[in-house]
Structure 1
Amino acid sequence: MNTTAPHPYVGMWVTADGHIRQELLANGRYDEARGNRQSAYTGSYSVTGNHIDYVDDTGFTATGDVRDGVLFHEHLVLYREDSAQPTAGAK
């Protein structure tokens, strides 16, 4: 029986307007939806401290940092789906 809790960053992260939804999976994979396009980007990620390194399945790389419970992923700002987030522009 595995009693190890998943990493605290595992779960769904969304932009304030809900257009981009990035799910960090417990197995080290991610799945990102953009608008109506499901699985627009998929790949693997690794976490070191508060820093996340992404490698898309096409070989594209990106980075992110979690600060004060907010994920800053390149030019995006994402919030935990289950946390309070800004509602301006939300659909």
Structure 2
Amino acid sequence: MNNSMEENLEYIGLWVTKDGYIRHELLSNYRYDEARGNKNHAYQGSYKIRGNYIDYKDDTGFTADGEFRDGVLYHAGMILYKQVK
């Protein structure tokens, strides 16, 4: 079962690796936009959140997943932290 948008609010926003190279922006319309280094919009697609788990499907059909633990996103061997404005 997918979380409601209200339950997903804590996850919506920009998630960044410590070195800033990988940046995942989780948008409120269940889309994401990933930047890598100087390449903005490197990957785009949709996502679903179930509890603390996220499933990604990029627009080419590639799928991946991740897990939120203690305010950190663990995804494909990467560790991403939510960017606070």
Give the TM-score normalised by structure 2. 0.89
Deviation of residue 31 (structure 1)? 0.1
Structure 1 residue ranges, 4+ long, deviating more than 3 angstroms after superposition: none
- Indicate the structure (1 or 2) with the bigger Cα radius of gyration: 1
Q: State the identity as a percent.
A: 59
Specify which structure has the higher proportion of helix. 2
Report the aligned-residue RMSD.
Answer: 1.5
20-29 or 5-14, which moves further after superposition?
Answer: 5-14
- Inter-partner Cα distance in structure 1 for 2:56 and 2:21: 20
- Structure 1, residues 3-34: CA drift from partner, whole Å, max 9, x if none? x7562100000000001110000000000000
Alignment coverage as a number of residue pairs:
80
Q: Which runs of 5+ in 1 are unaligned?
A: 84-91
Q: Quote the Cα distance in structure 1 between the aligned partners of 2:53 and 2:84.
A: 21
Match of 1:23 in 2: 25
Counterpart pick for 2:79 among 77, 80, 83: 77
- More strand per residue: 2
Other-structure match for 1:64: 66
